[in-house]
Chain A
C-alpha cells in the first residue's frame, strides 16, 4: 500500500475541513463602527483643538520661534517707518483733534523726516 506524504496528507485534510460560516451580523456591526469612526474624524476636522494644541506645545518650537521673530521684526520696522516717528505731540486737545479724510495723496508719504518736520 502506498503511504502518503504527511505534509501533503495533513494539508489536504485541513483544506477540506468545513466548520460553517461566521455570523453575518458581524459585518453589519463592523461597518457601523467604521462609519462611526469616520464620522468622528470628520467632526474633529472642524475643531480648533488640535491647532491650539500644536500652537502651545513644544512641538516644532524652532519653527514657531522663527515665525514669532519674523512677525516681531516686521512690526518694529513698520512702526519705525511711520511718519509720526520722533514727533513729540503736546497734550493739547485742540492739536490732537484730527479729521480723517480718505485722501489718496496722503498714501504716498515723504520719507524725509526733516522736510516732514519743517512742514509741520
Chain B
C-alpha cells in the first residue's frame, strides 16, 4: 500500500517529546516499554510487595503525565526514570523511619505458581540473595539491582544514585563479599 503508515520504533526521547504535546499513544508505548522493569525494581526494593510495587509504578507514571516537561532530553531517559524510582524508594524508607520494616517477607512456595521455567532452587537462591541484601542496606540493594538486573554501566548507576563511581564499585564489591559470606552455595559457584 502506497500510503501505509510506517511502524517506526521511536526512541524514548522522541516519545517524551510527543507526550509533552499530549500524544496518548506515545505515553502508552513508553509505559509498555518500561512497566515490567520498573515494577521489578519497586518489587525488590520495597520488600517484595506486589501491592506497593503496583502503587509506586502508577505514581511514577502519574508524575510523567503531570510534568512531562521536567525531563531534560540532554540526559538519558532510562537513567532519569530509574533515578525517580530510586528517589521514591528513598522517600518511602524515610517515611517509614526504619527500613527493616520491609524485612518481613518469607519465601512462600505458593507464590511461585506462575514460574514454570524457573526452578524452585534458583528461586530460593534469589530470595536468599535479596534477604541478605536487605540486611546490608537499601544503597547496596539498589546498586546491585541497577547493575546486575538493569545492566547499567558503573557510570550510569553513579548518575542514578548521585554518588561517585568509586562508591558504586565499592558497594558492589562489598555486596558480593557479603553474599559469599552469607551463602555457602555462592562460594562454590563463583570466583571472588
Could you tell me if A31 and B24 are in contact, using CB atoms closer than 8 angstroms?
yes
Could you tell me if A34 and B189 are in contact, using CB atoms closer than 8 angstroms?
no
Could you tell me if B190 and A14 are in contact, using CB atoms closer than 8 angstroms?
no
Interface 1/0s, chain B 166-179, versus A by CB < 8 A? 00000000001000
User: By the criterion of a CB under 8 Å from any partner CB, how many residues of chain B are at the interface?
Assistant: 42
Interface 1/0s, chain A 1-13, versus B by CB < 8 A? 1011111011101
Could you tell me if A35 and B24 are in contact, using CB atoms closer than 8 angstroms?
yes
Q: Name B116's closest neighbour in chain A (CB-CB).
A: A18
Could you tell me if A18 and B118 are in contact, using CB atoms closer than 8 angstroms?
yes
Could you tell me if B61 and A30 are in contact, using CB atoms closer than 8 angstroms?
yes
Could you tell me if B190 and A5 are in contact, using CB atoms closer than 8 angstroms?
yes
* CA distance in complex: A13, B65 (Å): 34
Q: Is B191 close to A, CB under 8 A?
A: yes
User: Interface residue tally of chain A, by bracket?
Assistant: 20 to 34
Q: Is B145 close to A, CB under 8 A?
A: yes
Residues of B with C-beta under 8 A to A30: 27, 31, 58, 61-62, 65
Q: Name A16's closest neighbour in chain B (CB-CB).
A: B118
Interface 1/0s, chain B 152-192, versus A by CB < 8 A? 00000000000000000000000010000000000011111
Could you tell me if B65 and A7 are in contact, using CB atoms closer than 8 angstroms?
no
Q: Is B71 close to A, CB under 8 A?
A: no
Residues of B with C-beta under 8 A to A5: 190-191
* CA distance in complex: A3, B180 (Å): 13
Could you tell me if A14 and B62 are in contact, using CB atoms closer than 8 angstroms?
no
Could you tell me if B148 and A10 are in contact, using CB atoms closer than 8 angstroms?
yes
Q: Is B82 close to A, CB under 8 A?
A: no
Closest Cβ–Cβ distance, residue A49 to chain B (whole Å): 19
Select which of A15, A22, A35 is within 8 A of B57 by beta carbon.
Answer: A22
Could you tell me if A4 and B191 are in contact, using CB atoms closer than 8 angstroms?
yes
Q: Name A14's closest neighbour in chain B (CB-CB).
A: B149
Could you tell me if B144 and A10 are in contact, using CB atoms closer than 8 angstroms?
yes
Could you tell me if B122 and A29 are in contact, using CB atoms closer than 8 angstroms?
no
Closest Cβ–Cβ distance, residue B24 to chain A (whole Å): 5
Residues of A with C-beta under 8 A to B28: 27, 31
Q: Given the interface contacts A29-B58, A30-B27, A30-B61, does A3 sit within 8 Å of B191 by beta carbon?
A: yes
Select which of B43, B57, B118 is within 8 A of A26 by beta carbon.
Answer: B57
3 smallest CB-CB distances across A and B, nearest first, come from: A3-B191, A22-B39, A14-B149
Residues of A with Cβ closer than 8 Å to B? Answer: 1, 3-7, 9-11, 13-23, 26-27, 29-31, 33-35, 37-38, 41
Additional A-B contacts beyond A6-B191, A9-B190, A13-B129 (17; CB < 8 A): A3-B190, A4-B189, A4-B191, A5-B190, A11-B149, A13-B125, A17-B123, A18-B118, A19-B39, A22-B36, A22-B54, A26-B58, A26-B61, A27-B35, A30-B65, A37-B66, A38-B22
